[in-house]
Structure 1
Amino acid sequence: MVSLSKNQTISLAKQSSALSQIQFGLGWDPVKKKGGFLGGLFGGGSDSIDLDASCVLLDAQGKVIDTVSFRQLSSKDGAIVHTGDNLTGEGDGDDEVIKADLSRLSPNVEFLALTVNSFRGQTFNEVDNAFCRVLDQSSKELGRFRLTEQGSHTGVLIASLRRSGGEWNFTAHGLACTGRTVEEMMSQIVAAVVNG
């Protein structure tokens, strides 16, 4: 498993030979608020954080082919499937999972952009331990990117995959975006993934 830094790219083919089906696990925790026993009684404990993971399918020019999110859990071709919305961020491990059957993707899909946004408008100052990881079909973790920056933004382009000569490269972005939906973040996503 490779732990990536911001803007680092790895070849997934060099990490695993089993790459027809992969999955992206995205996770986060609410920031623990201080307040002790009385603070907990009066709202000082940790709040739930409802972040939404999405996958945007782009062609080589950056035209959006499809978007998979909590609103549309499967791409039109069935190659990308979102397993469902997590409304709290509580618990260990992946909070939301997006599965990709790379062999079923249309040949004109050049990029898969992975985003996380706060539909409710909670900022990343309220988010802790956010990460994105990619696993092969045997559940071997190939790469992980931990998001360490907090801020008043409501969205993040966390990572992307790019088709390169029949192989896929995974890039960690960690780009703060404005927008409470993936659609509102689209111009920033395209600029970073295609023109980046």
Structure 2
Amino acid sequence: MTISLQKGQGISLKKNDGTSLTKVFLGTGWDVANSSGGGFLGKLFGGAGGGDSIDLDASVIMFDANKQFVDNVYFGQLKSRDGSVVHSGDNLTGEGDGDDEVINVDLTRVPANVSSLVFTISSFRGQTFKNVSNAFCRLVDATNNTEIAKYNLSQQGDYTALIIAKIYRHNGEWKMKAIGETCQGRTLDQMKPTIINFI
């Protein structure tokens, strides 16, 4: 059963039998606002062409317990140096149903010094979220493709990035928290000062 997350809500990444999840992925997507076609998932991560095209990118930044940068994964670096996080690749068309950009995380391989992984969506070309609607992220157990939680982000506005969620260690367990905070920045470096406030 999928948990529908609210802003600021956290969940434990434990299965019903008490064992911990080992491999998860975060899928993200949205529509172009007032688009003439494509339906709810039809134009995820930018439309197929014309004026409807919005190129947005999913990324993750890894931090240690002291909020120091460890590594990042985005369209320009599709795998973390330790190999625990893998990006599906940049999708510029957004055609078809399902997740257009996915970030896979092998929790068993995340280095011990990494305490949190923060997931973001940003507009590399500087287009704002005024033209984006129905944004969401969902956490899925990658071992059996079962959706664990989904977070719908309805807020639109004159910003270029969104801090959507984080996976973090707490008392030896992995947890997830929905963040849903807007910020400015086309690149991860530009977003880091804001992201650190939510680690």
Question: Aligned pair 1:121/2:122, yes or no?
Answer: no
Question: Aligned pair 1:133/2:142, yes or no?
Answer: no
3-state DSSP of counterpart to 2:191: helix
Aligned equivalents of 2:96, 2:65: Cα separation in 1: 37
Shift of 1:165: 2.3
* Structure 1 segments unaligned to the other structure (5+ residues): 35-44
Matches for 1:142-181 after TM superposition, within 5 Å: 142-181=148-187
Stretch moving more, 56-65 or 163-172: 163-172
**Two-structure CA RMSD over aligned residues (Å):** 1.6
Aligned equivalents of 1:49, 1:91: Cα separation in 2: 15
Shift of 1:33: 4.5
Query: How many percent of aligned residue pairs carry the same amino acid?
Result: 49
Equivalence for 1:92: 97
Aligned residues, how many? Answer: 183
Shift of 1:141: 0.6
CA contact (8 A) 1:28 1:89 kept: no
Shift of 1:14: 4.8
Aligned equivalents of 1:161, 1:79: Cα separation in 2: 13
CA contact (8 A) 1:29 1:90 kept: no
Question: Aligned pair 1:49/2:49, yes or no?
Answer: no
Aligned equivalents of 2:189, 2:98: Cα separation in 1: 27
Aligned equivalents of 1:94, 1:60: Cα separation in 2: 31
CA contact (8 A) 1:116 1:157 kept: yes
3-state DSSP of counterpart to 1:6: coil
Q: In the TM superposition, what whole-angstrom CA distance separates every residue of 1:34-67 from its partner, at most 9, and x where no partner exists?
A: 7xxxxxxxxxx86022111001010011101000
Aligned equivalents of 1:88, 1:190: Cα separation in 2: 31
Closer, same or farther in 2 for the Cα pair 1:68/1:15, shift >3 Å?
Answer: farther
Q: In the TM superposition, what whole-angstrom CA distance separates every residue of 1:116-155 from its partner, at most 9, and x where no partner exists?
A: 0000111111111111111112111111111110000000
Shift of 1:90: 3.8
Paired letter, 1:7: G
Between structure 1 and structure 2, the one with the greater Rg is 1
Aligned equivalents of 2:134, 2:64: Cα separation in 1: 31
CA contact (8 A) 1:57 1:112 kept: yes
Aligned equivalents of 1:46, 1:30: Cα separation in 2: 10
- Give structure 1 regions of 4+ aligned residues with deviation exceeding 3 angstroms: 14-18, 88-91
Q: In the TM superposition, what whole-angstrom CA distance separates every residue of 1:43-98 from its partner, at most 9, and x where no partner exists?
A: xx860221110010100111010000001000000000001011133433212000
Closer, same or farther in 2 for the Cα pair 1:154/1:139, shift >3 Å?
Answer: same
Equivalence for 1:101: 106
3-state DSSP of counterpart to 1:135: strand
* Structure 2 segments unaligned to the other structure (5+ residues): 37-49
Aligned equivalents of 1:66, 1:15: Cα separation in 2: 31
Aligned equivalents of 1:29, 1:92: Cα separation in 2: 11
